[in-house]
């Protein structure tokens, strides 16, 4: 077991290194020039060179790469070109904001999906409930997340006026950590959270339903049923055994949520990592974009690792080797 | 792998028809065919105006028997390759912004047109012209300078190396239920370094905080590290002068300035100013700031301070600024740009001053009309009105909401969360919103920002003055303004200097009307001809 | 065991007959049929859309008074109204069909091909090949999809070719994994062992035994890839990273969004949104039917 964990850890480090390298070269090889905005305002050649040096963009590609890896190993991702300060100082509060919609959204999507999925899976095959459940879930799964966002905003913000149309809080509202526990924040949180939930619900639902359908024909379920246990409790048995794939799916899903939440953050003007990544890319702010990307990649690697280990814990049939 | 597309064959047919009218030249009388011309323009990430404009302009130019290939180029590559990199292939259609320092003609005449000037991407080099535009800069006497500036425009107009097509119209959308006296900063876009509309706005209700629904975050509160000259921190740090909407440079932190010789300016500071921490503002602070930037040469400031040699104190309120070369544009470009930092906050700082994180250090101290309150990254900035300021706003504070997209700005303005919007939301949309909503008002800002048509003056056929003039006559400024800019641009005047900057524009340049027939006549007279398919050929060698 | 079945076991079956079987099975699933019908309609519109379009997609519409006809609600002249730039919405919408399907199909074919090659090589041969390929997919799987696409397209330049390239780079990895595990199962089947024993070549076994039996999984993955590709292109275009020279639905929405008309100009926003939903959902409906087929325990008894 320990050997397995060690090996997986080593593998993960390797993967993170590879992703970092790909990222580094992508940014350096491409022609985009981070000094463009200053050039337009008349930056001189010497001043430009000085800036490039300050930003670590001079010297051979290899030297830049070695320096970059060295810095990352020490946890230093450099300074943002745009904000002129360490990228972590910029990113840290944004990570918290992103997690605020990612985790509850995913959990709500999973919980609701599991509940409805069980009902659909347990319903008579070919019946109305099953067929409409599957059909609706499949169709909703096909709705791009920005369309979900647009629809929610149009209906609940512009038309009905129930929720604010953008941002994370009214200007001038509580600042600091306390803001996360104000009504104002929850009011702003509602729509993006619903968008993430809707985005995840159908996939969960279909996954759960498949699991329940597979399990309901297992012998032990027949046994429980034969003992005269009420339907609802039998369904619960089948559902419990279908949770396994769902739980292992949750970890990688979380990572993908955080990555895929970019669009939702943009639509709702939610100040998170994804929105910052898009802005950093358009501003040619390499260090910030690289760090944001690195962060997302590490989350995915960790999530995959956790999923693998959890799978082993939950399912005794898995043998570590 | 840039996507390109060719102009439709339809234009060729149309030109063939026109040729028939003129009578096509015999094939043996013609030189080589004029090859396809590439038109570079800002890619759609800068808005669809550029593509639309490039498309309609090329449609008309195509009637001269030319074919075009449209090539979108992203902003940063456009600047580094084409504007300063000398990489213009054939033609370019793009805009330069309505920056405050561009109210001085030097940018238009010299920076975009002199031999060897950094942003002379049209690669036109004329020694006589270059000498003219360098000379005008050194003429401290305004009348003499004006004459030289007008002469340079005439010379440029006769050569026609490039020309402006339209001048951009910006807009301000504001909540007129809550705010009064929102004034236009025209011809400059609503930048933070200006008095209008910021300091003149008056609150009508108890909500005494002006919320600015903006696109993006502020980079830094360190004045030496801030990109460009127009940023938010000009609210916090006072400049020596301000440019007003009448096109004048008016006293601000300085009450007077005079050239004591062509390379020395004597500046007198306003009495009784204090920094946000209560310390008085003296000539020592101004001299310290100027000498520090001269010594450190912060890259972000390099273009504005290149000509500064240093400063020396005369007494508590007066000091001299030394220039490396005589510069008449100093007053309009440097005085409204250069700022005052408190010596007592900066002198003892040990680290790299340009990289100093002033927010973390609690060192956001200036003497400007607003003082720093808080910053939530990519969300909001809050400034409090500095009541002791000589021109303090009548309201209590200013907030900038970094909303990141037009839709949120619109939503903020409609819900009343935002009080004023100046950018990102297209001007046409601002105007629509004001027309549809009682509480919103719209102000048009006709600016000196210009959409330029550039030619590669070092490559045939653009080396030929007749060809340039023909293209100029076939430039559909009106179509570009209406179809490209939805009516929120006006056809530009003649010559390189925008007419929006007032006296500096030479009104005597004869207007060239849009006329494709006349353009074809110019080409024909210069010996160009058309083949059976209506394609333009060079004159026979 | 008769001689005949023995022969079939060694010869395996043709790829095409396997595909035919697969399609036939698909037609028994009513949701898949709905999906196929919608998809068929979309393909038809993609073929004739530009021909049906009443105007050039970027042509500026003028009113009689010489003003730009902006943001006009639907009328007889402009069935779906006009955009903020005076373009005809219906024409742009119709051109969008072709772009969506080109992106979807080209990317999916590329993804399907690469996934299959990698999956089969890795699953069938195992050993070093498998190790190397699987480490490669490990790395690829750790790349956050949309952020990668955003960065890559912004850096490479926004063109349809680049968008397709990026989508291909992104989605082969999951496919390769899924196909590999299917190949692993097939490889252990008794008839493959027989075929080996009877002296069949690797190529023969892969082509006649392995591929026909995993064809459903490949189809499933290709179908899903079409959907992913369309969604990714739409998301990129919506974020303003689309190809500016073509009209795609994501881009129409982006322009509505960035010009501040998203919540009012319904005639401009609803058609592309609805088309995206219908197209992607129809693909998922088809994909779901394959899923039920490939998992025998889900099949109805």
Q: What is the dihedral angle through the alpha carbons of B40, B42, B47, B49, rounded to the nearest 10 degrees?
A: -40
Q: Percent of chain A at pLDDT above 90?
A: 10
Q: How far apart are CA C259 and CA B410, in angstroms?
A: 9
Report the distance separating Cα B488 and Cα B484, nearest Å.
9
Average pLDDT, chain A: 81
Residues of B in contact with A46 (CB under 8 A): 302
Q: What are the pLDDT digits (tens) for B74-120?
A: 777 788 888 888 889 999 999 998 887 788 899 999 999 999 888 99
Per-residue confidence (pLDDT) for residue C156, from 0 to 100: 80
**In this complex, how many residue pairs, one in chain A and one in chain C, have their CB atoms less than 8 Å apart?**
143
* Nearest of C277, C258, A247, C33 to residue B423 by alpha carbon: C258
Report the pLDDT value the prediction gives residue A184, as an integer from 0 to 100: 84
Kindly report, residue by residue over C276-294, the tens digit of the pLDDT.
999 999 999 998 888 777 7
Question: Hey, are the CB atoms on A32 and C253 less than 8 Å from each other?
Answer: no
Mean pLDDT, rounded, for C162-174? 89
CB of A212 closer than 8 Å to CB of A238: yes
For residue B43, which residues of chain C lie inside 8 Å, CB to CB? 158, 244
Q: Which domain holds residue B162?
A: 5-15+35-168+447-513
Which percentage of chain C shows pLDDT scores above 90? 30
pLDDT tens column, B426-478: 888 899 899 989 999 999 999 999 999 999 999 989 999 999 999 999 999 99
pLDDT exceeding 70 applies to what percent of chain B?
A: 94
- Is there a contact between A147 and C273 if contact means CB atoms under 8 Å apart? yes
Q: What is the pLDDT of residues C85-130, one digit of tens each?
A: 888 999 999 999 999 999 999 999 999 999 999 888 888 888 888 8
- pLDDT tens, residue by residue, B109-164: 999 999 988 899 999 999 999 999 999 988 988 899 999 999 999 999 999 999 99
**Residue A122 near chain C (CB below 8 Å):** no
Residues 6+ apart with CB under 8 A from C65: none
Look at residue B395 in the predicted model and tell me its pLDDT: 95
Q: Which value does ipTM take for this structure?
A: 0.83
Average pLDDT rounded to a whole number, residues C10-16: 67
Cα A152 to Cα B200: distance, rounded to the nearest angstrom: 39
Residue from C110, C178, C108, C116 nearest C141 by CA: C178
What distance in Å separates the CA atoms of residue A254 and residue C101, rounded to the nearest whole number?
30
Domain membership of residue B458 (yes or no) is yes
Q: How long is chain C?
A: 301
Does C4 have pLDDT greater than 50? Answer: no
Q: How deeply is A21 buried, as exposed, middle or buried, from its count of CB atoms within 10 A (0-12, 13-18, 19+)?
A: middle
Residue B278: inside a domain: no
Query: In whole angstroms, what is the distance from residue C197 CA to residue B477 CA?
Result: 80
Choose among A15, A134, A281: nearest Cβ to C150: A281
How far is A190 from A212, CA to CA, in rounded Å?
31
B76 is a domain residue: yes
Decide: helix, strand or coil at residue B347.
coil
Query: Residue A175's pLDDT is what?
Result: 67
Continuous segment of H or E residues that includes residue B375? strand B370-376
Cα(B3)–Cα(A311) distance, integer angstroms: 47
CB C92 within 8 A of CB C57: yes
For residue B319, the cross-strand partners are B267, B313
Query: Of B515, B512, B538, nearest to B527 (Cα)?
Result: B538
Q: What pLDDT was estimated at residue B306?
A: 86
Residue B489, H or E segment: strand B489-491
pLDDT tens, position by position, C50-63 = 889 899 888 888 88
Give the number of domains in chain B.
1
Q: In what order do the strands lie in the sheet with B308-313?
A: B254-261, B264-269, B318-323, B308-313
Residues of C in contact with B74 (CB under 8 A): 157
Three-state secondary-structure class, residue B387: coil
What is the mean pLDDT of the segment spanning A216-221?
A: 70
| pLDDT(A314) > 60 | no
pLDDT in tens, A64-114: 888 888 888 888 888 888 887 888 888 888 888 888 898 899 889 888 988
Q: What distance in Å separates the CA atoms of residue C144 and residue C172, rounded to the nearest whole number? A: 14
3-state SS, one letter per residue, for C237-276: HHCCCCCCCCCCHHHHHHHHHHCCCCCCCHHHHHHHHHHH
pLDDT above 80 for A15: yes
Q: Which of B39, B48, B480 to mutate to test the interface with C (most CBs of C within 10 A)?
A: B48
Residue B47 counted as domain residue:
yes
- Residue A319 clears pLDDT 50, i.e. is over it: no
- Give the gap in angstroms from C-alpha A277 to the nearest C-alpha of chain C: 8
Structure confidence at residue B515 (pLDDT): 95
How much is the pLDDT for B423?
A: 79
CB contact under 8 A, A275 and B378: yes
What average pLDDT does this structure show over B188-210? 87
Per-residue pLDDT at B533 exceeds 70: yes
* pLDDT value, residue A246: 67
d(CA B387, CA B371): 10
Does the pLDDT value for residue A133 go beyond 50? Answer: yes
Distances B486 to B61, B481, C292 between C-alpha atoms, Å:
21, 7, 53
Grouping H, G, I as helix, E, B as strand and the rest as coil, residue B527 is coil
In a domain, B323, yes or no: no
Angle at B214 between CA B208 and CA B220, to 5 degrees: 95
Which pLDDT belongs to residue B452? 96
Mean pLDDT of the C184-189 span: 81
Sign, CA torsion C14/C15/C20/C25: positive
Confidence at residue B443, expressed as pLDDT on a 0 to 100 scale: 92
B88 part of a folded domain: yes
Contacts of C253 in chain B (CB under 8 A): none
Residue A280 CA neighbour count, 13 Å, CB half: 28
C234 touches chain A (CB under 8 A): yes
Q: What is the mean pLDDT of chain B?
A: 88
* pLDDT digits 0-9 by tens, B284-310: 999 999 999 999 988 778 778 889 999
Q: In CATH, what number is assigned to the domain containing residue B118?
A: 3.10.105
| B104 lies in some domain | yes
All residues of chain A having their beta carbon less than 8 Å from the beta carbon of residue C226 are: none
Contact B518, B87 (CB under 8 A): no
Name the least confident of B127-136, B309-318, B505-514, C156-165. Answer: C156-165
C198: pLDDT confidence band, cut at 50, 70 and 90? confident
Assess if residue B112 is contained within a domain.
Answer: yes
A9 vs C contacts (CB less than 8 Å): none
Residue A257 corresponds to which tokens in the numbers above? 């949520």
Look up residue C258 and give its two tokens. 């960035």
A134 vs chain C: nearest CA distance in angstroms?
A: 9
A172–B382 CB contact, under 8 Å: yes
Chain A hits for C144, CB-CB cut-off 8 Å, are 255-256, 258-259, 293, 296-297, 300
The answer to whether C161 contacts chain B (CB < 8 Å) is yes
pLDDT of residue A321: 36
CA distances from residue B87 to A25, B36, B81, B122, B464 in whole angstroms, order as listed: 24, 17, 5, 9, 20
Test A258 with C144 for CB contact under 8 angstroms.
Answer: yes
Which among B175, B191, B299 is the top mutation candidate for probing chain A, defined by the most A β-carbons within 10 Å of its own β-carbon? B299
pTM value is: 0.84
Q: Which helix (H) or strand (E) holds B42?
A: strand B37-42
Two tokens, residue B505: 């524009």
pLDDT of residue B11: 41
């Amino acid at each position: 077991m320990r050997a397995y964990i060690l090996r997986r850890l080593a593998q993960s480090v390797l993967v993170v290194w590879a992703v970092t390298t790909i990222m580094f070269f992508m940014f350096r090889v491409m022609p985009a020039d981070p000094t463009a905005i200053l050039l337009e305002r008349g930056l001189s050649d010497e001043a430009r060179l000085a800036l490039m040096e300050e930003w670590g963009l001079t010297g051979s590609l290899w030297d830049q790469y070695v320096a970059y890896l060295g810095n990352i190993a020490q946890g230093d991702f450099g300074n943002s070109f745009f904000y002129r300060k360490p990228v972590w100082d910029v990113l840290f509060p944004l990570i918290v904001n992103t997690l605020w919609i990612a985790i509850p959204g995913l959990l709500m999507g999973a919980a609701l999906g599991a509940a409805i999925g069980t009902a659909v899976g347990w319903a008579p095959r070919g019946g109305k409930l099953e067929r409409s459940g599957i059909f609706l879930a499949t169709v909703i799964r096909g709705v791009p997340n920005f369309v979900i966002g647009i629809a929610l905003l149009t209906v609940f913000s512009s038309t009905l006026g129930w929720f604010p149309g953008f941002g994370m809080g009214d200007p001038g509202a509580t600042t600091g950590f306390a803001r996360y526990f104000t009504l104002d924040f929850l009011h702003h949180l509602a729509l993006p959270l619903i968008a993430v939930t809707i985005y995840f619900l159908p996939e969960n639902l279909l996954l759960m339903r498949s699991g329940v359908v597979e399990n309901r024909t297992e012998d032990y379920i027949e046994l429980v049923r034969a003992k005269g246990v009420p339907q609802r409790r039998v369904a619960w048995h089948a559902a419990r055994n279908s949770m396994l794939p769902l739980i292992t799916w949750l970890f990688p899903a979380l990572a993908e949520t955080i990555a895929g939440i970019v669009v939702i953050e943009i639509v709702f003007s939610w100040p998170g990592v994804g929105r910052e990544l898009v802005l950093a890319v358009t501003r040619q702010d390499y260090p910030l974009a690289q760090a944001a990307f690195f962060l997302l990649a590490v989350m995915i690697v960790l999530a995959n690792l956790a999923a693998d280990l959890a799978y082993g814990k939950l399912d005794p049939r898995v043998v570590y080797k | 792998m840039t996507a390109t597309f060719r102009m439709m064959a339809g234009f060729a047919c149309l030109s063939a028809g026109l040729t028939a009218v003129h009578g096509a030249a015999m094939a043996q009388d013609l030189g080589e065919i004029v090859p396809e011309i590439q038109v570079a323009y800002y890619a759609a990430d800068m808005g669809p105006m550029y593509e639309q404009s490039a498309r309609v302009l090329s449609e008309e130019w195509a009637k001269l028997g030319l074919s075009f290939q449209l090539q979108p180029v992203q902003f940063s590559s456009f600047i580094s390759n084409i504007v300063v990199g000398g990489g213009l292939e054939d033609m370019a259609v793009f805009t330069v912004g309505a920056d405050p320092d561009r109210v001085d003609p030097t940018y238009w005449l010299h920076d975009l047109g002199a031999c060897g000037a950094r942003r002379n991407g049209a690669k036109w080099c004329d020694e006589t012209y270059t000498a003219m535009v360098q000379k005008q800069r050194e003429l401290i006497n305004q009348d003499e300078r004006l004459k030289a500036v007008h002469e340079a425009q005439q010379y440029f107009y006769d050569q026609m190396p490039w020309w402006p097509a339209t001048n951009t119209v910006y807009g301000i959308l504001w909540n007129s239920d809550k705010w009064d006296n929102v004034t236009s900063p025209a011809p400059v876009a609503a930048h933070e370094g200006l008095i209008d509309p910021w300091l003149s706005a008056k609150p009508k209700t108890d909500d005494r905080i002006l919320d600015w629904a903006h696109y993006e975050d502020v980079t830094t509160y360190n004045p030496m590290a801030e990109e460009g000259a127009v940023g938010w921190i000009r609210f916090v740090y006072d400049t020596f002068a301000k440019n007003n909407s009448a096109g004048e440079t008016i006293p601000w932190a300085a009450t007077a300035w005079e050239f004591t010789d062509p390379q020395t300016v004597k500046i007198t500071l306003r009495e009784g100013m204090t920094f946000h921490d209560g310390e008085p503002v003296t000539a020592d602070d101004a001299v310290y700031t100027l000498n520090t930037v001269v010594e450190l040469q912060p890259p972000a400031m390099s273009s504005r301070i290149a000509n500064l040699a240093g400063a020396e104190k005369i007494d508590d309120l007066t000091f001299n600024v030394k220039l490396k070369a005589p510069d008449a544009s100093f007053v309009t470009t440097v005085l409204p740009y250069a700022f005052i930092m408190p010596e007592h906050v900066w002198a003892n700082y040990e680290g790299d001053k340009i990289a100093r994180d002033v927010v973390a250090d609690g060192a956001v101290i200036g003497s400007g009309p607003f003082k720093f309150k808080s910053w939530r990254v990519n969300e909001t900035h809050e400034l409090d009105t500095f009541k002791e300021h000589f021109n303090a706003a009548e309201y209590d504070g200013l907030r900038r909401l970094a909303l990141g997209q037009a839709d949120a700005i619109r939503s903020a303005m409609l819900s009343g969360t935002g009080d004023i919007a100046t950018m990102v939301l297209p001007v046409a949309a601002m105007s629509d919103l004001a027309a549809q909503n009682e509480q919103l008002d719209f102000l048009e800002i006709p600016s000196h920002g210009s959409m330029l048509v550039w030619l590669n003056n070092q490559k045939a056929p653009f080396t030929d003055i007749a060809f340039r003039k023909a293209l100029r006559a076939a430039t559909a400024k009106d179509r570009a303004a209406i179809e490209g800019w939805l009516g929120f641009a006006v056809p530009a005047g003649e010559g390189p200097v925008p007419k929006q900057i007032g006296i500096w524009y030479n009104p005597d340049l004869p207007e060239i009307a849009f006329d494709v027939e006349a353009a074809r006549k110019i080409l024909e007279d210069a010996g160009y001809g058309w083949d059976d398919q209506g394609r333009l050929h060079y004159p026979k060698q | 065991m008769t001689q005949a079945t023995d022969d079939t076991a060694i010869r395996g079956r043709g790829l095409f007959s396997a595909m035919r079987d697969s399609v036939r099975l698909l037609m028994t699933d009513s949701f898949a049929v709905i999906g196929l019908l919608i998809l068929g309609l979309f393909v038809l519109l993609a073929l004739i859309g530009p021909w049906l379009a009443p105007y050039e997609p970027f042509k500026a519409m003028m009113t009689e008074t010489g003003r730009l006809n902006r943001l006009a609600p639907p009328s007889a002249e402009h069935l779906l109204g006009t955009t903020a730039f005076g373009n005809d919405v219906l024409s742009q919408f119709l051109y969008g069909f072709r772009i969506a399907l080109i992106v979807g199909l080209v990317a999916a074919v590329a993804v399907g091909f690469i996934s299959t090659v990698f999956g089969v090589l890795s699953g069938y041969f195992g050993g070093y090949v498998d190790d190397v390929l699987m480490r490669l997919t490990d790395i690829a799987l750790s790349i956050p999809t949309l952020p990668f696409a955003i960065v890559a397209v912004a850096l490479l330049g926004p063109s349809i070719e680049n968008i397709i390239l990026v989508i291909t780079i992104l989605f082969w990895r999951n496919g390769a994994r899924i196909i590999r595990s299917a190949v692993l199962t097939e490889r252990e089947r008794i008839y493959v062992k027989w075929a080996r024993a009877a002296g069949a070549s690797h190529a023969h076994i892969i082509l006649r035994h392995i591929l026909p039996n995993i064809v459903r999984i490949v189809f499933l993955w290709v179908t899903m890839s079409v959907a992913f590709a369309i969604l990714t292109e739409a998301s990129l275009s919506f974020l303003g990273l689309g190809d500016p020279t073509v009209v795609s639905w994501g881009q129409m929405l982006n322009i509505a969004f960035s010009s501040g008309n998203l919540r009012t100009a319904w005639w401009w926003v609803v058609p592309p949104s609805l088309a995206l939903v219908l197209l992607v959902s129809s693909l998922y409906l088809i994909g779901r039917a394959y899923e039920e087929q490939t998992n025998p325990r889900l099949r109805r008894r």
